Amino acid sequence: MTRELPMFSPPDDPAGRGHTDRAALPPTIALGGGSFSEPAADGSVPLRRHPDWIRARIPSGATYHDLKGLLRGLTLNTVCEEAHCPNISECWDQRTATIMILGDTCTRACGFCAVKTGRPTWFDADEPRRVAQAVAQLGLEHVVITSVARDDLPDGGAAVFAETIRRLRDACPGMGVEVLIPDFDGMDAPLRTVMDARPDILNHNVETVERLQKPVRKRARYARSLGVLERAKAFAAGDGWPVHTKSSLMVGLGEERSELSQTFADLRSVDCDILTIGQYLRPSLEHLPVIRYVHPDEFAEMKAEALALGFRHVESGPLVRSSYHARDQVPGAELKRLRRQATIDAEGRVGPGSLAG
């Protein structure tokens, strides 16, 4: 399989990241506003010319490098790095990472994704053990496991997902386990394999509205993705396991607000519990262009709309990604947060939301 999209490597010179005065921006909140700046010849917004509300921290600090060293030492990949996530500094500083299993080469060439594409040759039966070892050393309360698409494998990698879940259960009892899975070409057997391992959260992303599925997701199908979420819930219910399902959307690819509303409704129709909504950011000139930068106020409006439909939890904001604040989305997370706060206060440290005295 030839690569349709090259892997993105950031330029050495970060110049050109200047921010423009917000007063000069066109309207974006339900007013038909367009893109952030003058479009290029292909109608796209120039790379790295973002409005001032899109501002990520440069990865740095002892905790960041400590976590990076641990993952490197165990030969593990993270989607945080492979997909150039803008939240990597914040999440890694909190010792939170999304582990990417089954290698770093994807069999699909989605128009939005920075993960490299090709014919995978990597497979390591020992990977689930190493993942559990790394997570145990991190002492996490919640972990997210995802993968590249492995259409070259008969089960799409489902057995590796399942074994990783089981290893994590043994190594870290009581920890929340979330898996972000591919669609397994819509096959029931691989999905049932994953669900039989009993994850706490089953995440599968529709990514965009139905009209834009083909240019954005290539081999995926909107109805197939909804079916994955619906059947995951049914398999868990039949086994008496209270799984929560989750999906994610990117905005700024040319979708209409009415199409987003329809997508929210479609996800609720299959009893999807958790939704994340974030701004699409073009990883390279070879990827799909940004059509519009969505203002934070509109993200707030979408969150309110989705919650009104019955989602249990919604994360919505420009830099939100599928696993952003995942620890706080698992059932019982609020109680755990209060316990963490009580521990911090008892030890005399200043924690989030407390006052220095």
Q: In angstroms, rounded to a whole number, what is the distance separating the alpha carbons of residues 252 and 35?
A: 9
Per-residue pLDDT tens over the stretch 45-55: 444 467 776 76
- pLDDT for 72: 60
* Stretch 226-254: mean pLDDT: 94
Q: In angstroms, rounded to a whole number, what is the distance separating the alpha carbons of residues 24 and 8?
A: 30
Q: How far lies 316's CA from each of 5, 301, 323, 345, in Å? A: 28, 9, 12, 30
Place of tokens 């990514």: 207
Q: In angstroms, rounded to a whole number, what is the distance separating the alpha carbons of residues 291 and 280?
A: 9
- Most trustworthy range by pLDDT among 131-145, 202-216, 329-343: 202-216
- pLDDT for 14: 37
Length of the chain: 357
Tell me which of 251-260, 284-293, 342-351 is least confident. Answer: 342-351
Report the chain's mean pLDDT, rounded to a whole number.
75
Residue 225 or 140, more confident:
225
Would you say residue 160 has pLDDT above 70?
A: yes
Instruction: Read off the pLDDT band of 18 (50, 70, 90).
Output: very low
Name the percent of the chain lying above pLDDT 90: 41
Tell me which of 25-29, 205-209, 314-318, 326-330 is least confident. Answer: 25-29
Residue 321 or 112, more confident:
321
- 254 CB contacts (<8 Å, ≥6 apart)? 212, 291, 292
Residue type, 99: I
Would you say residue 15 has pLDDT above 50?
A: no
Residue 353 or 291, more confident:
291
Cβ atoms of 77 and 103 closer than 8 Å: yes
Instruction: Read off the pLDDT band of 107 (50, 70, 90).
Output: confident
Would you say residue 98 has pLDDT above 80?
A: no
Residue 316 sits at φ, ψ, to 5 deg, of: -145, 120
Residue 241 or 50, more confident:
241
* Stretch 40-64: mean pLDDT: 58
Q: How far lies 39's CA from each of 43, 47, 52, 290, 292, in Å? A: 5, 11, 18, 10, 10
Would you say residue 136 has pLDDT above 80?
A: yes
97: left (phi over 0), alpha (psi -120 to 50) or beta: beta
Structure tokens at 207: 């990514």
Q: How far lies 104's CA from each of 120, 141, 160, 254, 286, in Å? A: 8, 25, 15, 29, 19
Residue 218 or 304, more confident:
304
Residue 326 or 1, more confident:
326
Q: Which of 267, 280, 277 is nearest to 304 (CA)?
A: 277
- Most trustworthy range by pLDDT among 112-121, 318-327, 331-340: 112-121
- Most trustworthy range by pLDDT among 3-17, 236-250, 317-331: 236-250
CA torsion 287-290-296-298 (nearest 10°) is -120
Question: Helix 222-238 vs helix 257-269: angle between axes, to the nearest 10 degrees?
Answer: 30
Radius of gyration of the CA atoms of the chain, in A = 20
Residue 115 or 288, more confident:
288
- pLDDT for 21: 37
Residue 166 sits at φ, ψ, to 5 deg, of: -65, -40
- pLDDT for 32: 29
Q: In angstroms, rounded to a whole number, what is the distance separating the alpha carbons of residues 233 and 221?
A: 19
Structure tokens at 202: 């089953």
Would you say residue 180 has pLDDT above 70?
A: yes
Instruction: Read off the pLDDT band of 248 (50, 70, 90).
Output: very high
Cβ atoms of 113 and 160 closer than 8 Å: no
Would you say residue 69 has pLDDT above 50?
A: yes
Place of tokens 């073009």: 282
- pLDDT for 249: 96
Q: How far lies 94's CA from each of 30, 90, 122, in Å? A: 35, 7, 30
Question: What pTM, to 2 d.p., does this model score?
Answer: 0.73
Residue 72 or 311, more confident:
311
* Stretch 145-169: mean pLDDT: 94
- pLDDT for 50: 74
